[in-house]
Each structure stands twice: as C-alpha cells, then as structure tokens.
Structure 1
Amino acid sequence: MASRVSFAKSATVRIRSCPSNKIRGSDMADSAMVDIEGEVAPGFEAVRDAFASNFIKGGDVGASFAIWKDGEYLVDLWGGHTDAARSKAWQRDTLPNVWSTTKAVAALCLARLVERGELSYDDPIIKHWPEFGAHGKDRLTVGQAISHQAGLSTLREPLTEENLYDHDDMAARMAAAEPLWEPGTRSGYHALTYAFITGELVKRITGKTIGRFFRDEIAAPWEIDFYIGLPESEEGRIAEMIAAPNAQPLDAANLNEVQKLTFANPSPSATAPNSRAWRKAEISSANGRGSASALAKLFGAVAAGGALNGTSLVSRETLAKLSAEQISNEDLVLGLQGSWGAGVLRNVGGLLYGPNEATIGHSGWGGSFVLCDPVAGVGISYVMNQMGPDLAGDPRAMGLLAAAYEAL
C-alpha cells in the first residue's frame, strides 16, 4: 500500500511499503516527485523519514544511505535521480563520485598491507619509496604522511586538473618537492595530494595500482561495489555530480599562505567528475565511486572484526593501529581542530560521526561520508550527487546520523 506525503512548494516523496519492511516506488514523469526505495529494519522507520526529508527540505536530487551490522543491512535506502534534469531514476547500484570519502578506502588499502606485514605506520616512507626523501622528507613516517603531515598539501609549482590524471608524474613531483612546512610538525589537509602518497606506497610494495589492489584484495573477496578508477564497463551506472547552488568563493584575505596555495593549485571544479578523464584516473583522495550500501558493508565488516565471506582482511589489532592518533592540532589547511588516525578522521568528542569516540571515518566534499564504529559494530554511509558547500558535517548527513544512532 502506498503512502504519499505532499509538501507545498517542494518535492513530493512517495514510499511504497511491501512485506518484510521493504519499500519500493516506481518512476514518475513529474520531476517534483521523488520515489524512495529499499528496506529498513523495524525500529528504523525514522531513518527512512530523515532520508525522505533530505529530498523534501534538504535539496537532494539523488542519494543512498545504508547501515550494515552483523552481516546484514539494517537500513538500505536509495531514491531520486542521477542527473540534474531528473530524467533517470537513482538505483541501488548508482555510482556517484564520493570525493574525499575515497580517502577512507585508500586508508583501508594501506591497513591491508599492515595486516599482511608488508607495511608499518612507523616505517619511514623512504623504506618503500627512497626518492621521497628529498628536501628533508627522509624522516617522515608512513603514519605521519597519510595524516597530512608531509607538508605537501600542494606543490610550489603550478598544477592543473589534468596533472591529477597522471599518477606516475605526480608521484615523481611529490618525491622531489620541497615541503611547504616542516614535515611531521603539523597537519595540513592533503585534499588531492593524499592520492599520490597512498597510491605510490601501494604500487611500490605490491606492483599494483591502488585501484587494482583494492579490487583484487578487498572488493573481490568481500563483493564491494566500489571503484578507484572507474572501468568503462560501469559508465552506465554513474551519477552526474551537481555543484552546490550559491556556493561562495573563499575570501583570500582570511586565508593563510598555505591555504592560498592549496586551494588554488589545482582547483578542480565540482563537476570535474562528470568527465571520463576524471573517472578513469585513479585518484585515491577524491575520485572513488560507489554506493552507500557498498561503503556501509565494507566498513561495517571492518567494525565487526574484519571478516566477511569467510575472508579476514583487517583484524581488530590492525583496526586499532589504523585508528590510533597520529596527530591532533588545528589543521593548517582546514583551519579546524581535529584528530587524525592513519588516513582517517577520529571521532574525538563525537562531533561528526555519532556518539562513540572510537569511531573513525571520512567525509567528502559536498556531503558524502562513511564511518566505522567498532563500539556499535556498524558501518554507515551516505552518498549523493547534489553537492552542498561543506567538506564535512553536511546537514543532510548529520540528520541521517542522528536518526540512525537514535534507532541503534
């Protein structure tokens, strides 16, 4: 039986409830009509309502949200459209660009190498990548580098968006670069350059690109529908990324010198992911594509002990190493106080990712996020194509998290 709720001067959300707490809708010609599909476990109906509210009040065009616990989904929702024209319905397996939420997946790739004994967060990077030691970077550890302490939030030389598509060239530039501040003393968010540190470490150790390593070592055994570097065969499932409306430019007068350099060099547009050149590159800081169901399953399995489908990938011991604090300070680039683990944000104070301080996660420009909560034993993720203005703490995401933890 369908339940239909209309709101004046806004979208209309239609939810069709089926047995076993499943909800399903159908395509509608009216662009103001949004269908929500999926399922929620008993007691999680408020999460469904919060998800619907994001279309009614929050401006969502297309999105998905999922909670994974104990080998199953407590919530698995999707709805809306994959494009600004609202011509194609969002499916469970639609693949939006998740921006910096990709960093959590890249961090998990390195954690897998730690699990296998091929890498330690205490290793100097030059143990695996000797050329990286130029200009005083020789003492920098892996853990410091992937917690944004390398002093390479950008390079001193001019960069373009196209430079990001050539991993080998960027890795060579990073190795030879003079840092912007003394390595290992402060964090300064490596929004894009994180890709070439994580990707090159994986390549030096395994001989594989990070996208291939993720597919072979994590995505395949755990059946995770996520990509760093999208194969052409999956192009039919992409979501068009839509820039935040009325986004305000940064006021240069209020920026420090590191921020000025970092935000402008390069400065990819919010719609850069709509090009095939962006999608096929392997930028493990910013161009991952996947659904909320895939990300929630991945990090929910890690939260529960790191085993799935009879395969153990990341033990609790390795998760503890991944989660351990590398640095806590006011970030030179973000201008915010924060605590970094080995490539992930630590939920100190319960500010971003629910009430449990043991939670780790990462958010992406515009609103997406994934978290791994070993206390509650859950993975939770939200992805979308209508970008908001925030790097983290998007109101749509925060509303979903509040409803989720109330139900948990």
Structure 2
Amino acid sequence: MSNVDGLVEDGWGQVADTFRANFKEGKDLGAACCVYVDGRAVVDLWGGLADREKNRPWERDTVALVASTTKGATAICAHLLVQRGQLDLDAPVIRYWPEFGAAGKEKIPVRWLLSHQAGLPYVDTPVTFEEACAWDPLIRALEVQKPLWTPGTEHLYHAMTYGFLVGEVIRRITGRSPGTFFAEEIAQPLGLSAWIGLPEEVEPRIARIEAAPFPYKSMEDLAPDFAKLMGLDLAVAVTLVKDVYGPGSAFMKAGAVGDVTGENVLSRAYRAAEFPGANMFANAHSIARMYAATVSDVDGIRLLQPDTVAAMTVAQTDRTRMHGAPPELLPATKNLFNMSLGFVRSAPPVMSMFGPASFGHPGSGGSLGAADPESRVGFGYVPNLWAATMVDPRAIELTSAVAKCLG
C-alpha cells in the first residue's frame, strides 16, 4: 500500500480513509486531495508515485496536468471582471472582441461562451499544434467560423475552444493573456502552485501521467454503466452514446484543435503554452484554496462576493437541447449537462458534490475542483492515473466522504 502523508483534522477521517482506499484498491497511482472549510485546510493529503518509471514519490509540492479543471479557474477570472464592472455577461461578445461577429455571431452574448451554447465546440478549419500554441492563429479561425447550430438553442461541451473563447474576452478587456491574468490576480495573491502556461523551472515537480486501461471494447459497451451513473433509461443512454458521444460526433471532434492530441499534450511546448480550458498544472491544495476563496475568506483574501457566486451558478443549459440528441430526449437530458456560467452544478446522482448549491469543474483523468457556498467548502483532487470515464468515481467517492463529514 502506498504511503500517504499530510494533514487530517479530527472529524475528517472518512475522507482520509477513502483517499487511502483508492491506493489500496489500485484506483490511484499517485494523487493528492485537499479540503478547505471556512478558509483553512482540514484535509491536505498526498501519496503514491509521481513517476512510476523513476520510482519518484508524490510530494507535497508535486503538480499535475488537470485538463478541464482548468475551465473553472478561467471562469473565476471572468467573474472577477464581472464583479469589477468590466464585463457584462449579457452584452454581445463583439463589445469586447469586435472581430468575433463575423459569420452570424454578432448577437452571441458572453454568457453563451461560458455555458457552451455558442455553437463553436471545435475549430472547423485546419490549425496546427504550433498555431494553437501561438494563440492568435486559433483566435482568427474562431472569428471567421460559422456556428454549428443556432446559438442559444443547443449546447455541447466546448472542450478545447472554451478556453480560447473566454480567454480572448479576458485578454481584450485586460490587455493581459488569460494565463497572466490568472497568475497576477488569483495564483500569486493566494500563493498557489497553479499555472496556465507552466514556467520551465517547475518542470521537475510534474507528475508523470499514466493512462488506465479503457474498460470497454467500444463506446456502445459503456451504455449500461452510463445509464446507471447518470440515472437514465438504458434506451436513452444508448441513443446518447451513439448519436452525441459516438465516433464522428461533434463531441468527439471537440477535444481536438489541430493535432493537439497524443504526444503533443506531453510536450514542453504544450505545457508552456496557454490553453485556458485544458492545460493548467496544479496541486490539490491550490485548487481547494482557490475554490475556498470564492466562498470564504482565505488569509484575508476573498475572490468573489456572495452575489457574484449566486449569479454565476444559475443553470444555463436546462432549457436547451444537447446538440446531436433527438428533441424528444430533452425532458430526460435537460440536466445531464448541468452547466452554469463556467461551472458544472451539483446534480445528483452525478456530481452531487456537497449539497444543492455546490459548483465546480472536473477534468479528464479524474481531477476535480469544487466549492459549496453553504458549507464554505473548497475541494481539490488531482491524480496522475488517468481513468477513461466520463465522470470519475474516485472524485465522486471523495466528495461524498466530505459531505458525510459535514453532516
């Protein structure tokens, strides 16, 4: 069994037990988990191996790629601008980014970028990896692109484009790249080990990612488990897996920007670039601390005020249809992608988190950052054994343990 180090305050043993069980049962290789309550850490644990090949242990300062958990950090940046009166979510994007209005996009409001309703889930013109890393070529491609659907009527996860769309609005308003804005306004004030655009000197602290075996022979084979996890009828789950998530679907295209796949994701060039929806490197302590500062004071710093949090966590996608799903499935799927303004909302049985007011964002591979304004919790979980599941059971089990400790 892997060694686990760190802090566990009285009353929080169930979280520690769940974390240790993940190693004992072979679900984790290396990982960290942190829980903040009322602005201070009550659980801060790490263990296992950061690199199996080198037998390098996971240390307190180990950081790892957290994939789409990055989206939550970028959303917090946007809501800081809303709170300061610099960004109006109901204003058209072209108020801040005039060139975006080409190809029928002139009426798209900012809130549709944050809630994946803009109809731009992938870039439909060739963009190389080098061009994506350079930022501007990809922005130019999005400017001239026509939406895949009538914006505001459907939604689909904008896996890679979300960060560029929201990030460019941040850049136009502030004159700073989204990674720089995040560093100066969030990470540095809170003392976080978290970067969107990783400095080279942090490279020795990175955990090596390993992919867990895909447990299904095909996408269709996962339908029964998907139905159980999402609380869906099997027939509905089969339709979604086939038409929405299947090969050739817009969802499958959404994860790629040019050739930003495979080995490129493991490159120094990818880590150094800014992909504000996908390439933050962080540890669990920093993610928990960041989210804690959205719902409480953390060492005298509070990022977002309660009215900002209340407004940004209102569900946006419950009246729109998931792109690719038949219209008759709207009643069964309206809360399947329970997205607010940049955050997934608590939606039992999936992503139940800590209570009905909870919000956060998961990432491919299993990471999760989340907060709850009622219990004033900030949570972070970061693994390096990437499981090929739509919602990672490790994160669900840990948040369930937190909820039980809260009572």
TM class by shorter chain equals: 0.7 to 0.9
- Under a length normalisation based on structure 2, what TM-score does the superposition of the two structures give? 0.86
Deviation at 1:399, TM superposition (A): 1.5
Find out whether 1:78 has 2:46 as its counterpart: yes
- Range 335-344 or range 100-109, more displaced: 335-344
How many residue pairs end up in the alignment? 373
Deviation at 1:302, TM superposition (A): 0.9
Secondary structure, aligned partner of 1:357: coil
Following the alignment from structure 1 to structure 2, what is the Cα–Cα distance between the partners of residues 261 and 404? Answer: 35
Quick check: 2:63–2:283 contact (8 Å CA) kept in 1? yes
Quick check: 2:39–2:299 contact (8 Å CA) kept in 1? no
Counting only pairs closer than 5 Å after superposition, residues 160-175 of structure 1 correspond to structure 2 as 160-175=128-143
Quick check: 1:82–1:238 contact (8 Å CA) kept in 2? yes
- Range 199-208 or range 311-320, more displaced: 311-320
Deviations 1:45-97, CA, capped at 9 Å, x for gaps: 12111111111114311100010011211110000111132511111121100
Structure having the larger proportion of residues in helix: 2
Secondary structure, aligned partner of 1:340: coil
Secondary structure, aligned partner of 2:289: helix
Partner in structure 2 of residue 398 of structure 1: 396
Find out whether 1:316 has 2:306 as its counterpart: yes
Secondary structure, aligned partner of 1:77: strand
Quick check: 2:287–2:380 contact (8 Å CA) kept in 1? yes
Partner in structure 1 of residue 375 of structure 2: 376
Deviations 1:103-129, CA, capped at 9 Å, x for gaps: 000000001111111002111100000
- Range 166-175 or range 108-117, more displaced: 166-175
Partner in structure 2 of residue 22 of structure 1: none
Following the alignment from structure 2 to structure 1, what is the Cα–Cα distance between the partners of residues 268 and 252? Answer: 29
Following the alignment from structure 1 to structure 2, what is the Cα–Cα distance between the partners of residues 270 and 81? Answer: 22
> Structure 1 pair 78/261, CA: closer, same or farther in 2 (3 Å)?
closer
Partner in structure 2 of residue 338 of structure 1: 337
Deviations 1:304-329, CA, capped at 9 Å, x for gaps: 2xx43334431111111211222224
Secondary structure, aligned partner of 1:400: helix
Following the alignment from structure 1 to structure 2, what is the Cα–Cα distance between the partners of residues 289 and 83? Answer: 16
- Range 185-194 or range 333-342, more displaced: 333-342
> Structure 1 pair 270/70, CA: closer, same or farther in 2 (3 Å)?
farther
- Range 323-332 or range 377-386, more displaced: 323-332
- Which of 277, 280, 288 is 1:285 aligned to? 277
* Superposition RMSD in Å: 2.2
Partner in structure 1 of residue 20 of structure 2: 52
Counting only pairs closer than 5 Å after superposition, residues 126-145 of structure 1 correspond to structure 2 as 126-145=94-113
- Range 309-318 or range 188-197, more displaced: 309-318
Paired AA for residue 377 in structure 2: V
Partner in structure 1 of residue 121 of structure 2: 153
Quick check: 1:69–1:377 contact (8 Å CA) kept in 2? yes
Partner in structure 1 of residue 77 of structure 2: 109
Partner in structure 1 of residue 229 of structure 2: none
Following the alignment from structure 2 to structure 1, what is the Cα–Cα distance between the partners of residues 252 and 74? Answer: 26
Secondary structure, aligned partner of 2:338: strand
> Structure 1 pair 253/112, CA: closer, same or farther in 2 (3 Å)?
closer
> Structure 1 pair 324/181, CA: closer, same or farther in 2 (3 Å)?
same
- Under a length normalisation based on structure 1, what TM-score does the superposition of the two structures give? 0.86
Quick check: 2:295–2:302 contact (8 Å CA) kept in 1? no
Deviations 1:327-381, CA, capped at 9 Å, x for gaps: 2245337996222111111113463042411111110011111111001110111
Following the alignment from structure 2 to structure 1, what is the Cα–Cα distance between the partners of residues 157 and 124? Answer: 16
Following the alignment from structure 1 to structure 2, what is the Cα–Cα distance between the partners of residues 247 and 349? Answer: 24
Quick check: 1:353–1:371 contact (8 Å CA) kept in 2? no
> Structure 1 pair 259/351, CA: closer, same or farther in 2 (3 Å)?
closer
Following the alignment from structure 2 to structure 1, what is the Cα–Cα distance between the partners of residues 384 and 366? Answer: 9
Q: Which has the higher contact order (CA 8 A, sep 6+)?
A: 2
Partner in structure 2 of residue 364 of structure 1: 363
> Structure 1 pair 76/356, CA: closer, same or farther in 2 (3 Å)?
same
Paired AA for residue 315 in structure 1: Q
Q: Percent identity?
A: 36
Quick check: 1:295–1:381 contact (8 Å CA) kept in 2? yes
Quick check: 1:243–1:270 contact (8 Å CA) kept in 2? no
Following the alignment from structure 1 to structure 2, what is the Cα–Cα distance between the partners of residues 105 and 263? Answer: 19
Partner in structure 1 of residue 266 of structure 2: 274
Deviations 1:252-273, CA, capped at 9 Å, x for gaps: 9653742354356546446644
Paired AA for residue 307 in structure 2: E
Paired AA for residue 228 in structure 1: I
Find out whether 1:298 has 2:290 as its counterpart: yes
Deviations 1:230-268, CA, capped at 9 Å, x for gaps: 011111111111123236565696537423543565464
Deviations 1:3-46, CA, capped at 9 Å, x for gaps: xxxxxxxxx2xxxxxxxxxxxxxxxxxxxxx2100011112112
Following the alignment from structure 1 to structure 2, what is the Cα–Cα distance between the partners of residues 385 and 333? Answer: 32
Following the alignment from structure 1 to structure 2, what is the Cα–Cα distance between the partners of residues 267 and 273? Answer: 9
Secondary structure, aligned partner of 1:240: coil
> Structure 1 pair 333/296, CA: closer, same or farther in 2 (3 Å)?
farther
Gaps of 5+ in 1: 1-11, 13-33
Following the alignment from structure 1 to structure 2, what is the Cα–Cα distance between the partners of residues 227 and 137? Answer: 31
Partner in structure 1 of residue 251 of structure 2: 259
Deviations 1:264-303, CA, capped at 9 Å, x for gaps: 6546446644210110011011000101111111111212
